[in-house]
Amino acid sequence: MMNSHNQQLSLLSLSLALLLLSGLRVEARLQHHATSYQKLFVFGDSYVDTGNTRIDQPGSWKNPYGITFPGKPAGRFSDGRVLTDYIAKFLGLKSPLPYKFRKLIPQNLKYGMNFAYGGTGVFDTSSKNPNMTIQIDFFKQLLKENVYTASDLSKSVALVSVAGNDYSFYLARNGSIQGFPSFIASVVNQTATNLLRIQSLGVKKIVVDGLQPLGCLPGSTASLSFQKCNSTFNDLVLLHNNLLNQAVTRLNHQTKKQTTFIVLDLYDSFLSVLNHPSSNNIKDAFKPCCVGIISQYFCGSVDENNVKKYKVCDHPKSAFFWDLLHPTQAGWLAVYNELQTTKALQQIRY
């Protein structure tokens, strides 16, 4: 028999799963594109996590996250939808089920699975969540258990996000600027190893995010009064992206198909929106919508009496950034609209 604590946890998990399922049903109504791909598998971090991070961790399961969609916290690091939701929409699929809910909503396994966890990198970071190697291990184990077949994988796409947590951890450990280029090379090499491993497991097409302009995130621009980007950080991002593009070109050459591995250019997509906010219905380009009332607090912070220590802007739909690191739903939609003009997104389908 379960004790009352375990019963409460099971009920909590079930209620979270039901909340997630309601969100997935809404996502189904967003579908626009017919496609031959039937499953989406997602690996990475908070830019694509849709519910794996634990409820006791900061962010995605706390108020005011999720206020735009689905109206309450639901495991996304935003006020609403994130990149995963828009890529799934592009493929004509529901957003794939987070790995941790695989046994609670088994009927949704058919859309693929999201293995991404907020705070993680290709290497270990300050987060205790599983890094990308372990996420791929989870995927491999499900294949061993025949949750997905070779036929399933032949009609599948993988989305891989490497949004910079490795670099934040490098700096937090007092890594030197001089050593940064060689560390960037090691991150890209590990990313390439991960991409090849996902492909070797049978996934037909693998899409990897290029690194967004880290120097434009509110955490980097706060000292500049949220007015302009930090060019030093962005120069390092360009090195990462150049090495990533070279690595992906090599991988495609090895597999003798030019579009097995595809890079999504988040760098240019972010900058296009930030440089032309009004054309994307964005009024606040650099200033985050949700912030702590003083520097020791963050979006979602509460004190020991559960009194909130954050403030939220009046119009999240006109802000690009939700918190110090993550776009709003409106921000992600604007980025997705920019990506739709690129060759890379079209190559996913063919």
Give residue limits of the domains in the chain.
Answer: 39-281+332-347
Give the gyration radius of the chain's Cα atoms: 19
Total Cβ atoms within 10 A of residue 261? 25
Please give the Cα distance from 299 to 303 (Å, whole number): 12
Please give the Cα distance from 77 to 117 (Å, whole number): 10
Please give the Cα distance from 138 to 136 (Å, whole number): 5
The answer as to CATH 3.40.50.1110 being correct for domain 39-281+332-347 is yes
Scan for tokens 């706390």, then name that residue: 62
pLDDT tens, position by position, for the chain (350 residues)? 444 444 444 444 545 544 555 555 545 444 444 448 899 999 999 999 999 999 999 899 999 999 999 999 999 999 999 999 999 999 999 999 999 999 998 888 999 999 999 999 999 999 999 999 999 999 999 999 999 999 999 999 999 999 999 999 999 999 998 999 999 999 999 999 999 999 999 999 999 999 999 999 999 998 888 999 999 999 999 999 999 999 999 999 998 877 799 999 999 999 999 999 999 999 999 999 999 999 899 999 999 999 999 999 999 999 999 999 999 999 999 999 999 999 999 898 87
Establish whether the linkage from the previous residue to 218 is cis, with ω within 30° of 0. no
| Token pair belonging to 109 | 């396994």
Q: What local confidence, expressed as pLDDT, does residue 11 receive?
A: 46
Task: State the catalytic residues.
Answer: 46, 323, 326
Please give the Cα distance from 118 to 108 (Å, whole number): 22
Q: What is the DSSP secondary structure assignment for residue 303, as one 8-state letter? A: -
pTM of the model as a whole: 0.91
Closest to 263 measured CA to CA, from 276, 275, 250, 254:
250
